[in-house]
Structure 1
Amino acid sequence: MSSHMTESIDLRELDLFAFCRKGGSAAGEVAVRDLPRILAETAAQAPASAADEVFAYTATGFSREEASEPGAPVAQRLFLDLSINGHVWLNCQRCLEVYAEPVATSMRFEVFASDAAADSAPMDDDEIDAIVGSKRFSLLELIEDEVLLALPAAPKHSVCPEVHESLVTGADGEVEPEAAPEEEEKRPSPFAALAGLKTRH
């Protein structure tokens, strides 16, 4: 059974150091309307209810007592696990229609007391990112940061309902034909080249 007790926290002003030291845990929802940078990314043709939709989050803090090297004093390292689930309404770049891009992201952060400490820390684990904590830390901004990082550079449906006519027609309005299969077959196969090398004995 987990030792973490879910608590109510102030997302805009959280003592992140205390939260991590005591092994705090929180879960809740954040409305899109409270995330201005996400609103800015939201498609203009998104449903009217888009700003009222929410991201569900869980945040868990914990600490570890570790020595930086044998014989060195034991230091306390603070960590924060953050998971976010929801979606953002974006414009598909292939069919130009609005669609809901799912967001499901989880990240572990090591919490430092200053920028200098974070910059000098040997971050040898790609699964852990460094953040600078404070006694008035905005978890809301961190949630917004992680949602933005999770968004695709080129938003697209996994399968478009239809392709927009501006993307498939030529200058004369005629639909451009797709590449014929035989044209693709003319491309040299890397396996054929390998076979050729093997026969040159």
Structure 2
Amino acid sequence: MSQPTQPAASAAAPDLRETDLFAFCRKGGSAAGDLAVRDLPRILAETAADAPASARDEVFHYTLTGFAHDEAAEPGAPATQRLYVDVTVTGQVWLDCQRCLGVYAEPIATDMRFEVVATEEAAEEASMEDDEVDVIVGSKKFSMLELMEDEVLLALPTAPKHVVCPTVHESLVTGADGEVEPEAPPEEEKRPSPFAALAGLKTKH
């Protein structure tokens, strides 16, 4: 498998497959670069079979920013340090439209902040404090590549479709026997408001 494209300052960039996430956050690390779709097997699995041949060579642009935040503690006690990493990923995934059955490019733009903790127990406790920040269990060999792939998968629509379909597939407008399906019956007219009827009676007196 080819290596993901690293930023220009590769010496300072983390290994996306094995990052010491704790050190990255404590040092205020940052990185930016491109990920080729071909390096993301789970994204490839979601890519439409009829996608352009160039779809495998398209890239997602990412940024990673780590930081630490010291929280005040009780007098005489040491401050509590909390670690965070901001992750953004932008790009597109070729999907099958469920309305016209054609392929189209779904734009992806994710922007998430994660609190990094050391254990599952700490993750459960932290997740109850702030529902706007996701919590992840870090490690010294953390896969940022998998985390970013997770974010792309979570951003995919459950029912992919064009904003406006260029055509309508014949299977969606004809029945199994080839006959055109009748149009859906019009919605029933709204029943008149009883208050409107009372108002009408009052005007007649």
The TM-score by the shorter chain falls in which range? Answer: 0.7 to 0.9
Q: Which amino acid aligns with 1:110?
A: E
CA distance in 1, matches of 2:79, 2:188: 64
> d(CA) in 2 for partners of 1:86 and 1:48?
16
- Equivalences, count: 190
Give the unaligned 5+ runs of structure 2: 1-8, 200-205
Q: CA deviation at 1:73?
A: 4.0
> What TM-score do the two structures reach when normalised by structure 2?
0.84
Larger Rg: 2
Contact 1:55 1:86 in 2 (8 A): yes
Of 151, 156, 160, 1:155 maps to: 160
Report the Cα distance in structure 1 between the residues aligned to 2:87 and 2:43, rounded to whole angstroms. Answer: 18
Q: Does 1:27 align with 2:32?
A: yes
* Distance (whole Å) between structure 2 residues aligned to residue 116 and residue 76 of structure 1: 17
- Over residues 20-49 of structure 1, what are the superposed CA-to-partner deviations in whole Å (9 max), with x where a residue is unaligned? 111111100001111111011111111111
Show the counterpart of 2:84.
79
Given that residues 107 and 127 in structure 1 are in contact (C-alpha distance below 8 angstroms), is that contact kept between their aligned partners in structure 2?
no
Could you list the structure 1 runs, at least 4 aligned residues long, displaced by more than 3 angstroms after superposition.
69-73, 177-180, 195-199
- Please, what is the CA RMSD of the aligned residues? 2.4
Structure 1: gaps (5+ residues): 1-5
Structure 1, residues 151-195: CA drift from partner, whole Å, max 9, x if none? 001110011001101011124423334346xx3251448xx46x4
* Distance in 2 of aligned mates of 1:135 and 1:56: 24
Contact 1:33 1:39 in 2 (8 A): yes
With the length of structure 1 as denominator, give the TM-score of the two structures: 0.85
Match of 1:3 in 2: none
- Kindly report which structure 2 residues correspond to 1:181-196, keeping only aligned pairs within 5 A, or say none: 183-188=186-191, 192=193, 195=195
Q: Tell me by how many angstroms 1:196 deviates.
A: 5.4
How many Å separate the matches in 2 of 1:10 and 1:42?
26
The alpha-carbon distance between structure 1 residues 188 and 28, as it changes in their structure 2 partners (threshold 3 A), is farther
Q: Which residue in 1 is equivalent to 2:5?
A: none
Rounded to whole Å, the distance in 2 between the matches of 1:131 and 1:198 is 61
CA pair 198-17 structure 1, distance change in 2 beyond 3 A: farther
Q: Give the whole-Å Cα distance in 2 for the aligned partners of 1:135 and 1:57.
A: 21
